[in-house]
């Protein structure tokens, strides 16, 4: 009994234990309970801020160049938005709210970078698996939250829901953290994939379908990386499975054909096909992309504020002949339909590019190229970061992935944890080599 109490006391008095528990629960309830991820990030921020403020030298002195690069990566989205607003001569607090979550994530990174956070990442992976199951059960027990015939939870729309469900799946697949024997673990992974397929089909989000396909393709190439033959067989099997889904699912068949018809009609640029472009969501998206490009070229340095009025309809239609009033109103009400273009339109080419580097490009460069010798060696948990970056980046081409505060909170937290894991190990190896 005394040992149990001592163990409990040690657990409660260790900030890393609380962080591990909170990190586990974040993906579990990310898409089920409103504001869960945001509240969790606030808690983690204060837990980590206290020891940092008490011993700043411990966390900031004698740190590696990689530490400062990764810290800058997390801070860039906020300061890019701030400098863009200063360049426009206006400060809009609501537009800084989302990027400010990356500052809190940066605080978590600074704290965790001084500890072995392998267990934190493992529990993040387990929580992600439970999160996929939770979304699946929620859709079946609470179908009243559907948007018509499209799957959604009571606060997450049918586009964001499957996108981040795929990201949760990626966090579990790429980490390959086993809690069951091999054959049971394999069955569990297939079950999670099947649940994710169900969620993405029920949501009818084509962006999620593309993200899911890219995630599994990259996973097979990574998991079977020691054998080119196995990679080829795996990719052929995946293509066959995706084709089977296309022909067997009426939803996938109809919406894929609709998307293809809209894209082809747009590129044919024939007036007789104007109705097809304007009447399909893929055609509308392409026209919305052109509006974003117009805004980027019109304000290349500091971008256009979210609430700024669009150019007059007649002015836009001169450069985009297929544009109609309906699509113009969609742009006014819903904004950009691409996170990548949204950042460039809102912050300008320079600051928008910096933001995209911080969120996507630099992390991929570090893990896939600069430190690949460490990221992909046996036993490393670094590939887990690809499980979340790949589906979010893929989806960001056709939807706004950070339109909800909880999404940027969750994504920033995941980056912070993996950055800390990578930085801590790189600095440890550098110290050992120096000795």
Q: What is the pLDDT of residues 351-365, one digit of tens each?
A: 999 999 999 999 999
Specify the residue for token string 């206006």: 90
Residue 202 lies in a domain: yes
* Domain-ending residue, one of 300, 334, 368: 334
d(CA 92, CA 70): 27
**Confidence at residue 182, expressed as pLDDT on a 0 to 100 scale:** 77
The reply to whether 192 and 81 lie within a common domain is yes
**Confidence at residue 4, expressed as pLDDT on a 0 to 100 scale:** 37
Which range of residues forms the domain containing residue 266? 256-334
CB 292 within 8 A of CB 310: no
The reply to whether 378 and 301 lie within a common domain is no
The length of the chain is 435
Judged against a pLDDT cut of 50, whether residue 6 lies above it is answered with no
Lowest mean pLDDT among 22-31, 279-288, 416-425: 279-288
- Strand ranges (E), 2-47: none
Residue 56 lies in a domain: no
d(CA 303, CA 339): 14
d(CA 190, CA 196): 10
Of 33-47, 259-273, 294-308, 370-384, highest mean pLDDT: 33-47
**Confidence at residue 407, expressed as pLDDT on a 0 to 100 scale:** 97
d(CA 15, CA 54): 14
Tell me 312's DSSP state: P
The reply to whether 388 and 308 lie within a common domain is no
What's the average model confidence in pLDDT over 408-423? 97
The reply to whether 276 and 327 lie within a common domain is yes
Q: What is the pTM of this model?
A: 0.94
d(CA 111, CA 98): 21
Q: C-alpha distances in angstroms, 170 versus 153, 175, 189, 218, 428? A: 20, 8, 11, 10, 28
What's the average model confidence in pLDDT over 156-174? 96
Tell me 32's DSSP state: T
The reply to whether 174 and 312 lie within a common domain is no
d(CA 44, CA 18): 9
Report percent pLDDT > 70 for the chain.
94
What's the average model confidence in pLDDT over 57-83? 96
Judged against a pLDDT cut of 50, whether residue 2 lies above it is answered with no
* Domain-ending residue, one of 334, 361, 395: 334
Burial label, 244 (beta-carbon count in 10 A; 0-12, 13-18, 19+)? exposed
Residue 6 lies in a domain: no
The reply to whether 119 and 190 lie within a common domain is yes
Q: Which residues contact 234 (CB under 8 A, 6 or more apart)?
A: 220, 221, 223, 224
CB 328 within 8 A of CB 316: yes
Neighbours of 4 (CB within 10 A): 8
Residue 232 lies in a domain: no
What's the average model confidence in pLDDT over 399-403? 93
Can you read off the two tokens belonging to residue 420?
Answer: 């800390």
- pLDDT tens figures, 9-53: 454 568 899 999 999 999 999 999 999 999 999 999 999 999 999
The reply to whether 117 and 205 lie within a common domain is yes
The reply to whether 92 and 213 lie within a common domain is yes
Specify the residue for token string 């960001």: 396
**Confidence at residue 9, expressed as pLDDT on a 0 to 100 scale:** 47
* Domain-ending residue, one of 268, 301, 334: 334
Q: Which residues contact 214 (CB under 8 A, 6 or more apart)?
A: 390, 391, 394
CA 148 and chain centroid, separation: 26
The reply to whether 322 and 358 lie within a common domain is no
Name which of 123, 187, 137 is nearest 165 in CA terms: 137
Judged against a pLDDT cut of 60, whether residue 191 lies above it is answered with yes
Q: Which residues contact 298 (CB under 8 A, 6 or more apart)?
A: 304, 311
Give the model's confidence band at 432: pLDDT under 50 very low, under 70 low, under 90 confident, else very high.
low
Lowest mean pLDDT among 32-36, 205-209, 267-271, 346-350: 267-271
Torsion angles phi and psi, residue 150, rounded to 5: -110, 135
d(CA 273, CA 278): 9
Split into its structural domains, the chain has a count of 2
Judged against a pLDDT cut of 70, whether residue 308 lies above it is answered with no
Cα dihedral 396/359/125/110 (nearest 10): -160
Q: Where are the alpha helices (DSSP H) in 176-324?
A: 182-203, 206-223, 228-248, 250-268, 274-279, 281-298, 313-319
Residue 249 lies in a domain: no
Name which of 366, 423, 413 is nearest 67 in CA terms: 423
- The secondary structure of 103-133 as a DSSP string is HHHHHHHHHHTTS--HHHHHHHHHHHHHHHH
The reply to whether 126 and 261 lie within a common domain is no
Torsion angles phi and psi, residue 419, rounded to 5: -60, -45
Q: What angle do CA 335, 338, 342 make, to 5 degrees?
A: 60
Name which of 200, 196, 314, 183 is nearest 251 in CA terms: 200
């Amino acid at each position: 009994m005394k040992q149990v109490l001592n163990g409990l006391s040690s657990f409660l008095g260790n900030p890393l234990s609380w962080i591990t528990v909170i990190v586990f629960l974040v993906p579990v309830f990310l898409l089920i309970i409103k504001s869960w991820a945001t509240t969790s990030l606030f808690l983690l921020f204060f837990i980590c801020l206290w020891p940092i403020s008490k011993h700043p030298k411990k966390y900031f002195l004698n740190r590696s160049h990689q530490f400062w690069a990764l810290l800058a990566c997390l801070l860039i989205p906020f300061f890019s938005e701030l400098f863009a607003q200063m360049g426009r001569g206006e400060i809009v607090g609501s537009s800084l709210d989302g990027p400010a979550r990356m500052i809190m994530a940066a605080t978590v990174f600074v704290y965790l970078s001084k500890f072995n956070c392998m267990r934190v990442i493992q529990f993040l992976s387990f929580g992600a698996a439970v999160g996929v199951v939770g979304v699946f059960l929620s859709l079946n027990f609470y179908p009243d939250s559907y948007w018509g015939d499209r799957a959604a939870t009571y606060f997450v729309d049918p586009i964001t829901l499957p996108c981040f469900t795929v990201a949760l799946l990626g966090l579990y697949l790429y980490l390959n953290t086993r809690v069951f024997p091999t054959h049971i673990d394999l069955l569990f992974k297939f079950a999670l994939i099947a649940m994710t397929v169900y969620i993405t089909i029920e949501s009818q989000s084509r962006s999620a379908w593309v993200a899911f396909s890219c995630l599994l393709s990259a996973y097979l190439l990574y998991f079977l990386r020691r054998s080119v033959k196995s990679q080829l067989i795996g990719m052929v099997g995946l293509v066959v499975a995706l084709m089977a889904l296309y022909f067997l699912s009426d939803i996938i068949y109809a919406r894929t054909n609709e998307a293809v018809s809209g894209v082809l009609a747009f590129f044919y640029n024939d007036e007789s096909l104007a109705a097809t472009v304007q009447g399909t969501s893929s055609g509308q998206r392409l026209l919305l992309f052109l509006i974003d490009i117009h805004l980027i070229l019109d304000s290349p340095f500091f971008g256009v504020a979210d609430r700024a009025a669009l150019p007059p309809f007649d002015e836009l239609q001169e450069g985009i002949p297929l544009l109609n009033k309906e699509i113009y109103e969609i742009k006014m009400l819903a904004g950009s339909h691409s996170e990548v273009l949204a950042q460039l339109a809102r912050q300008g080419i320079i600051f928008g590019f910096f933001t995209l580097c911080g969120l996507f490009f630099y992390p991929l460069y570090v893990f896939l190229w600069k430190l690949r010798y460490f990221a992909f060696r046996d036993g490393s948990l670094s590939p887990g970061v690809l499980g979340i970056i790949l589906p979010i980046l893929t989806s960001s081409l056709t939807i706004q992935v950070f339109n909800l505060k909880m999404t940027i909170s969750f994504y920033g937290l995941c980056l912070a944890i993996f950055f800390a894991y990578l930085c801590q190990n790189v600095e440890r190896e550098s110290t050992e080599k120096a000795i």
